[in-house]
């Protein structure tokens, strides 16, 4: 990735007329150059984000910044040729925002013709400037249309050799100024299979092979948070052998997900009712990960209060 011109970065901020510090980023560039990945990086960085916003509506963000009750201090928007004829107004709108003291940072994403052509072929999308014609004609038309805006940009990034994850990492480190190692927001979610698996899980562990406290009347009303239940689930060697394999696997996987650009991960752990075995395992994982500075951990016991 090449970076041409970097006169200022979004982290510097600028002042609105009432003196409050604000930060407005406008992401634009060629179709297929990675604008969706770019705005995702800003969203992960805590920005208020809007995709495919017509230029005139970008001006309304100035009003949002100036509103006395607004808590928005950082916003990133994507504006490109999908906005049709309205896109021609973007340079003028940027000048107006500068005059109002917002001084937006413009990030322009580009890639070489071959890369853009390959990306369109892979996704089978039509180019917005050639919906019924050849993709290469749309790419070249867009280059002509965006020439002046490219010259106006503060940062120009060539994404030809970057995957989406690589682009997000570059933005996080070179523009947002965050540590490239990042922190993974990890949710460990327990559930009962009889209540239905969670839809948002990235990884699912079925721990119904462990001893089931449900069949002991004295343990059935309890949960996996109770010591006697934990002792039952972890009796013998099975649970220990399981942890000996599971915990090192997590130590391997979590940094690998971060390196690939993933910022959120949900690990779902299921048993029959979601009250006993899954809770034991989740709490064991939480103890293992406690204190790590590369993981922001949240444990959710979805079905623990339901009848088993």
Q: Which residues pair with 186 in a beta bridge?
A: 265, 297
Q: Where are the beta strands (DSSP E) in the chain?
A: 3-4, 14-15, 21-29, 48-50, 74-78, 105-110, 155-158, 184-192, 203-206, 264-271, 295-301
The pLDDT assigned to 245 comes to 97
How many Cα atoms sit within 13 Å of 210 on the Cβ side?
Answer: 30
CA distance linking residue 51 with residue 156, whole number of Å: 19
**pLDDT tens digits for 188-236?**
999 999 999 888 889 999 999 999 999 999 999 999 999 999 999 999 9
Residue 299 has φ and ψ, to the nearest 5°, of -110, 125
Q: Lowest-confidence range among 12-16, 26-30, 92-96, 117-121?
A: 12-16
Convert the pLDDT of each residue in 25-42 to its tens digit. Answer: 999 999 889 998 999 888
Q: 97: closest CA among 115, 81, 75, 119?
A: 75
| Residue boundaries of the structural domains of the chain | 3-175, 184-301
| pTM (2 d.p.) | 0.57
CA 114 to each of CA 32, 38, 120, 215, 262: distance values in angstroms, whole numbers, following the listed order: 11, 21, 10, 63, 27
Q: What are phi and psi of 156, to 5 degrees?
A: -115, 125
Q: What single-letter DSSP state applies at residue 249?
A: H
With 0-12 / 13-18 / 19 or more C-beta atoms within 10 angstroms meaning exposed / middle / buried, residue 261 is: buried
Contacts of residue 18, defined as CB under 8 A and 6 or more positions apart, other chains included, come to 66
Strand partners, 203: 267
Please give the class, per CATH, of domain 3-175: alpha beta
Give the pLDDT confidence score for residue 88 in this predicted structure.
Answer: 64
């Amino acid at each position: 990735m090449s970076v041409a011109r970097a006169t200022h970065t979004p982290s510097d901020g600028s002042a609105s007329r009432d003196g409050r510090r604000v930060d407005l980023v406008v992401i634009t560039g060629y179709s297929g150059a990675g604008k969706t990945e770019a705005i995702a990086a800003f969203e992960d960085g805590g920005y208020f984000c809007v995709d495919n916003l017509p230029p005139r509506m970008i001006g309304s963000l100035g009003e949002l910044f100036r509103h006395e009750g607004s808590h928005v201090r950082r916003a990133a928007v994507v504006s490109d040729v999908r906005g049709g004829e309205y896109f021609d107004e973007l340079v003028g709108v940027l000048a107006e925002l500068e005059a109002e003291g917002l001084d937006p940072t413009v990030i322009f994403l580009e890639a070489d013709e071959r890369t853009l052509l390959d990306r369109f072929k892979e996704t089978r999308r039509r180019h917005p400037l050639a919906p019924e014609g050849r993709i290469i004609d749309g790419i070249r038309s867009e280059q002509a249309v965006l020439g002046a805006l490219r010259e106006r940009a503060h940062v120009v990034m060539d994404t030809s050799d970057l995957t989406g994850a690589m682009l997000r990492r570059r933005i996080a480190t070179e523009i947002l100024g965050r540590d490239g190692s990042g922190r993974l927001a990890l949710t460990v979610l327990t559930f009962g299979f009889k209540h239905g698996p969670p839809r948002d899980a990235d990884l699912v562990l079925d721990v119904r092979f462990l001893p089931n406290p449900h069949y002991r009347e004295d343990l059935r009303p309890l949960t996996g948070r109770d010591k006697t239940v934990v002792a039952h689930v972890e009796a013998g060697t099975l649970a220990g052998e399981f942890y000996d394999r599971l915990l090192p696997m997590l130590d391997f996987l979590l940094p690998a997900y971060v390196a690939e650009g993933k910022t959120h991960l949900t690990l779902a752990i299921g048993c029959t009712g979601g009250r006993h075995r899954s809770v034991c395992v989740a709490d064991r994982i939480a103890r293992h990960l406690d204190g790590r500075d590369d993981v922001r951990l949240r444990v959710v016991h979805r079905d623990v209060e339901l009848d088993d």
